[in-house]
Structure 1
Amino acid sequence: MPEMRFTIRWPDGTPESCYSPSLVIKDYFEPGQSYPLDDFLKRSREALGIASDRVKAKYGRPCSLALGQLQRIEAMSGRFTDTPQATVAVEAFDE
């Protein structure tokens, strides 16, 4: 199963390298684009959920790394919920 990393930049300028066990991330994000925080969270939940489900279909259990990445994204996003028009930039896909 092809895995990948993708680099994001949080609203405060902090970069983060994120993990996905599947290339499905490419169906949800585009490098160089910024997404409103709520949209970024929705897309992350869907994409990482699908990625984890693909691992489960192949190996019989969900991908703990994908679910852990989603937990980190959700936790970090909580820091910006009071920031009007907060966006998250997807900077690159690092395959």
Structure 2
Amino acid sequence: MNSFSARAASVIPDPTPTVPDQAGGLLTILNWASGIGLILGVLGVIIVGIGMVIQLQRGEGAQAIGKLGWVLMGCIIISGSSGIVRAFV
């Protein structure tokens, strides 16, 4: 390792994020919103599954696969939202 890269690596700070004490209420709201979103995501998967069963009996089952994809994408975004935000900040 040359001296330039060693010097540059020693200058780059490595901050550790801390949550201020005043943010307790906001964190509670975010936790509730995340929990409610995941519960609604599970409910959405159940509803799409019921719709798929009904549509398969009618012979139109392929249309429900797209709806299931959207519901699962929403669940992935909700569950990974903190990581997504952390990647951009």
TM-score where L is the length of structure 1: 0.41
Q: Comparing both chains, which one has the higher relative contact order based on Cα–Cα distances under 8 Å and sequence gaps of 6 or more?
A: 1
The structure whose residues are more often strand, as a share, is: 1
Q: Which has the larger radius of gyration?
A: 2
The structure whose residues are more often helix, as a share, is: 2
